[in-house]
Chain A
Amino acid sequence: GAGVSQSPSNKVTEKGKDVELRCDPISGHTALYWYRQSLGQGLEFLIYFQGNSAPDKSGLPSDRFSAERTGGSVSTLTIQRTQQEDSAVYLCASSLDGPAPLHFGNGTRLTVT
Chain B
Amino acid sequence: GQQVMQIPQYQHVQEGEDFTTYCNSSTTLSNIQWYKQRPGGHPVFLIQLVKSGEVKKQKRLTFQFGEAKKNSSLHITATQTTDVGTYFCAGVPGNQFYFGTGTSLTVIP
A residues near B (Cβ < 8 Å) are 31, 33, 35, 40-43, 45, 48, 50, 56, 91, 93, 97-99, 101-107
Considering only residues 22-72 of chain B, those with a C-beta below 8 Å from chain A are: 30-31, 33, 35, 41-45, 48
Q: Is the CB of A98 within 8 A of B95?
A: yes
B residues near A (Cβ < 8 Å) are 30-31, 33, 35, 41-45, 48, 88, 90, 92, 94-102, 104
Q: Is the CB of A99 within 8 A of B94?
A: yes
Most chain A CB neighbours (cut-off 10 Å) among B33, B35, B90, B97? B97
Report the Cα distance A40→B85, complex, angstroms.
11
Task: For A42, list chain B residues within 8 Å (CB).
Answer: 88, 99-102
15 further A-B pairs in the complex, CB-CB below 8 A; given A99-B30, A102-B43, A106-B42? A31-B95, A42-B99, A42-B100, A42-B102, A43-B43, A45-B98, A97-B95, A98-B96, A99-B95, A101-B45, A102-B33, A103-B45, A104-B42, A106-B41, A107-B42
